[in-house]
Amino acid sequence: MTQRTRPGAVAVAALLLAAATGCAGADRTPETGAPQRQDTERPTAPSAASGGASAQRGFTLLASGDVLPHASIIRQASADAGGSGYDFRPMLAGVKPVVSRADLAICHMETVYGEKGGPYTGYPAFKSPPEVAAALKETGYDACSTASNHTLDDGAAGLARTLDALDAAGIKHAGSARTAGEAARPTLMRAGTATVVHLAYTYDTNGYPLPQGQPWAVNLLDEKRIVADARAARKAGADIVVVSPHWGTEWQTAPDERQLALGRALTASKTGGRPDIDLIIGTHAHIPQAYEKVNGTWIAYGMGDQIAGDMINYSGAHDPRGNQSTLARFTFVPPKAPGGRWEVGRAEFVPQWFDTAAGRVVNLNAAVEGGAPLGAVRDRIREVALSRGAAKDGLTMGK
Residue 355 lies in a domain: yes
pLDDT in tens, 359-386: 999 999 999 999 999 999 999 999 999 9
Helix (H) or strand (E) holding 363: strand 360-363
Tally the domains of the chain: 1
Q: Please state the separation of Cα 336 from the chain's center in Å.
A: 29
Q: Write out the residue range of the structural domain in which residue 96 sits.
A: 2-28+40-397
Q: pLDDT tens, position by position, for the chain (399 residues)?
A: 333 333 344 344 444 444 433 344 433 334 433 333 344 333 333 443 334 445 899 999 999 999 999 999 999 999 999 989 999 999 999 999 999 999 999 999 999 999 999 999 999 999 999 999 999 999 999 999 999 999 999 999 999 999 999 999 999 999 999 999 999 999 999 999 999 999 999 999 999 999 999 999 999 999 999 999 999 998 878 999 999 999 999 999 999 999 999 999 999 999 999 999 999 999 999 999 999 999 999 999 999 999 999 999 999 999 999 999 999 999 999 999 888 999 999 999 999 999 999 999 999 999 999 999 999 999 999 999 999 999 999 999 999
Beta bridge partners of 358: none
The HSE-up count of residue 391 (CA atoms within 13 Å, CB side) is 7
Residue 180 lies in a domain: yes
- Rounded-to-integer distance, Cα 118 and Cα 114, Å: 6
Residue 34 lies in a domain: no
Please say whether the beta carbons of 195 and 173 come within 8 A: no
- Rounded-to-integer distance, Cα 37 and Cα 122, Å: 13
Question: If we measure between CA atoms, which residue out of 105, 106, 103, 28 comes closest to residue 71?
Answer: 28
| Pairing assessment for the beta strands 297-300 and 279-281 based on DSSP bridges | parallel
Residue 114 lies in a domain: yes
Residue 99 lies in a domain: yes
- Rounded-to-integer distance, Cα 91 and Cα 88, Å: 5
Question: If we measure between CA atoms, which residue out of 24, 2, 115 comes closest to residue 69?
Answer: 24
Residue 181 lies in a domain: yes
- Rounded-to-integer distance, Cα 49 and Cα 267, Å: 25
pLDDT in tens, 186-213: 999 999 999 999 999 999 999 999 999 9
Residue 156 lies in a domain: yes
Per DSSP, the three-state class of 370 is coil
- Rounded-to-integer distance, Cα 120 and Cα 350, Å: 31
Please say whether the beta carbons of 30 and 242 come within 8 A: no
Question: If we measure between CA atoms, which residue out of 241, 384, 247 comes closest to residue 324?
Answer: 384
> What pTM was computed for the model?
0.89
Assign residue 198 the CATH number of its domain: 3.60.21.10
Rounded (5°) CA angle 237-192-145:
70
Residue 35 lies in a domain: no
